[in-house]
Structure 1
């Protein structure tokens, strides 16, 4: 007779085995105790990010109007994130119109808070949110990435190990918990990526889901839906854009993020099962948001958009689904779609994004197709932010 399986012990063994294997993988990819570093960018990439031509960038160097940067023995210039920030400031100081190159908040602009969400796992929320955060940071925006998913994939992509680094403290949970919350500024981490700070996530975020029903019964203030917005108030002056990576469920964490948001991006994989799932998600969202709205939460957004994710343009059924969505939701479906790409998934094997890896590591056409797709999506998000600021 076969030995019975003690599921709790087996699950623990599996968890420990995966954790050890991931630790080993990280040590092979990155040196022990090393934090990730942002690569330098070519002159062509730098010019595109600055919004100028490569020839104008060369002219700036020739006239000594910008500081010298890292140059290879062959004479090729490479730019760090800090170099791009410095050049952008110099360009804006000499521009006829202020804000031409520094496109972040001006006096009177409210911070833009974007939530990436969907009820279904695997719809590309984390991939979308981190690439948007990084593209905006590379274009000069001050970005705070907030990981409210207990699985903490966004935190992992920034080079942290949530199960070690933030097992008991140091996550966004500390700033929104009911018992003795800490100031938001105490949990924000500087990241290796110039222009991005991180409010980490971790498993302890589940406690917020468990504690909120009791807090509602005890009428603890501020209520759950206002706690995220209240925590962000302390630091929002430091940022142009705040980006939430939400968990794949409509719990108290997601609703607290929505109540703090000015824009919502719902990621959707174009197949009928995912759309059926999204229909249920939207119905539940509407019902629950009615409840929190009646309780006093602000439910006004500058924009709501559906972002087509993992799109394969040569897939006939997917094309039909996208056409169906555009007919149904009109301009609320983003013009640009995030292509399904092996380049993005391959970069993920070393816990990197496509903006972090060098083009030489991939087949050129594969990389170019993927990066063009990402840039178009994220530049469309940027235009929505600019429009919300009245520009």
Structure 2
């Protein structure tokens, strides 16, 4: 847009205020697309270029480097590609998944184990809900699990972090809308599942038009609870059907107490509540839990069951150098006890830098800041997400080692 069209305050001088909002939205959407294209160059398409050395691969697989080399020597595993100088370039994620299968190191659930359907939920925005969801998805992917991420939020931050532009690349027909609409055109959710650059992570995307579902379901609810209850049951049924092809399903609902959030709340079988270490976040989370308690009671009175295998809170933005954060963490511990996961997610420039590139820390080919900062961040994310993995595996009756058993007791 020509700069001459703007006055000194940066606004069109001849536009009404409401029209300016449209202009601002369009300008912002165009900038998002420019950022996406810049982040994903060359080709403007997101790619997964992470490679792991043999020591890191062995640690992830729980075996020795010698076992990997022997499997390569006897032909069970292909060696990693080499550079022109003969240097091993490391293993990509598909190679790592193949190694898990060949060496019997897959963590996948057995057919009799129920898939975990986890909603990452808080009614307050800005707590890192989408950041937790995407990092958890990618952590589980690296560990070898099959993951489905369902973006139920019309803001579509999770969809964006997976490399899809919700404004330009996702149509309403590709979201949950055709399934949850008052006049649905789909009877199964399989139509909405998209592959991602991660070979073992799929996504049901969202976009702004998902908000239409809120209007429709709210209108249906005002005329009686029957239609609303049927949609709640339909979402749960659809997710249960899809979940049979995965180990873990992660649900990212809107940060508000709306009909979609209620439907997601009752469709899940586990709850993870992220919150930051500030007084307003603590207070709003207490209100969230209070509202959830009331809503669950009302849903159950209406014949809609809500049952969770685990409910945990995780501090999602913790600054270990801030005394106020340490104080709030102690308040959380006193209030929530063992329901608060002991390892918080530390604030890190690496997470922010990765988000600027529409990535998670697990997708960075190399550190954005210093190697020390990256290593500290990655180690913390692994530990924090590992707490949730332990809860999932406990649900399947698995405790892998003494350290895992000790953490399980704490959880």
When the two structures are superposed, what TM-score results if normalisation uses the length of structure 1? 0.92
- Report Cα offsets for 1:32-84 as digits up to 9, x if no partner: 76431111322233223222343443343344432222223342241122111
- Partners of 1:167 and 1:203 within 8 A in 2: no
Q: Does 1:108 align with 2:125?
A: no
The equivalent residue for 1:266 is: 273
Structure 1 residue 188 displacement after superposition? 0.6
292-301 vs 57-66, greater mean Cα deviation: 57-66
Structure 1 residue 360 displacement after superposition? 4.0
What SS does the aligned partner of 1:36 have? coil
- Partners of 1:148 and 1:205 within 8 A in 2: yes
Q: Does 1:79 align with 2:91?
A: yes
Structure 1 residue 264 displacement after superposition? 0.6
Q: Does 1:184 align with 2:183?
A: no
- Report Cα offsets for 1:228-271 as digits up to 9, x if no partner: 21221332211110001121112111111111111111001011
Structure 1 residue 274 displacement after superposition? 0.9
The equivalent residue for 2:176 is: 172
| Alignment partner of 2:102 out of 87, 90, 97 | 90
What SS does the aligned partner of 1:238 have? coil
- Partners of 1:35 and 1:192 within 8 A in 2: no
What SS does the aligned partner of 2:283 have? helix
What SS does the aligned partner of 1:145 have? strand
CA RMSD of aligned residues (A): 1.9
What SS does the aligned partner of 2:113 have? coil
Cα distance 1:25–1:214, how it changes in 2: closer, same or farther (>3 A)? closer
The equivalent residue for 1:162 is: 166
Distance, in Å, in 2 between the alignment partners of 1:58 and 1:338 is: 35
Distance, in Å, in 1 between the alignment partners of 2:367 and 2:277 is: 31
Distance, in Å, in 2 between the alignment partners of 1:347 and 1:242 is: 23
What SS does the aligned partner of 1:115 have? strand
- Partners of 2:277 and 2:325 within 8 A in 1: yes
Distance, in Å, in 2 between the alignment partners of 1:246 and 1:325 is: 24
Distance, in Å, in 2 between the alignment partners of 1:11 and 1:205 is: 20
What SS does the aligned partner of 1:70 have? coil
Q: Does 1:196 align with 2:201?
A: yes
- Partners of 2:147 and 2:200 within 8 A in 1: yes
The equivalent residue for 1:37 is: 47
- Report Cα offsets for 1:113-135 as digits up to 9, x if no partner: 01111111110110111010111
Q: Does 1:21 align with 2:31?
A: yes
Distance, in Å, in 2 between the alignment partners of 1:51 and 1:171 is: 38
349-358 vs 67-76, greater mean Cα deviation: 67-76
What SS does the aligned partner of 2:314 have? strand
168-177 vs 264-273, greater mean Cα deviation: 168-177
What SS does the aligned partner of 1:242 have? strand
The equivalent residue for 2:403 is: none
What SS does the aligned partner of 2:363 have? coil
What SS does the aligned partner of 2:305 have? coil
What SS does the aligned partner of 2:311 have? strand
Distance, in Å, in 1 between the alignment partners of 2:162 and 2:16 is: 36
- Report Cα offsets for 1:153-185 as digits up to 9, x if no partner: 111111111111224321122222221241211
176-185 vs 339-348, greater mean Cα deviation: 176-185
Distance, in Å, in 2 between the alignment partners of 1:296 and 1:71 is: 60
- Partners of 2:154 and 2:254 within 8 A in 1: yes
| Alignment partner of 1:65 out of 67, 76, 97 | 76
What SS does the aligned partner of 2:172 have? coil
| Alignment partner of 2:379 out of 358, 362, 372 | 372
Structure 1 residue 31 displacement after superposition? 4.0
The equivalent residue for 2:406 is: none
What SS does the aligned partner of 2:149 have? strand
What SS does the aligned partner of 2:60 have? helix
171-180 vs 248-257, greater mean Cα deviation: 171-180
- Partners of 2:40 and 2:47 within 8 A in 1: no
Distance, in Å, in 2 between the alignment partners of 1:119 and 1:84 is: 37
Q: How many pairs does the alignment contain?
A: 382
The equivalent residue for 1:208 is: 213
The equivalent residue for 1:332 is: 339
| Alignment partner of 2:20 out of 3, 6, 10 | 10
Distance, in Å, in 2 between the alignment partners of 1:222 and 1:291 is: 12
Q: Extract unaligned runs of 5+ from structure 2.
A: 1-8, 399-411
Distance, in Å, in 1 between the alignment partners of 2:313 and 2:366 is: 29
Residues 270-285 of structure 1: pairs in structure 2 closer than 5 A = 270-285=277-292
Structure 1 residue 382 displacement after superposition? 0.6
Distance, in Å, in 1 between the alignment partners of 2:185 and 2:336 is: 40
What SS does the aligned partner of 1:42 have? coil
The equivalent residue for 1:95 is: none
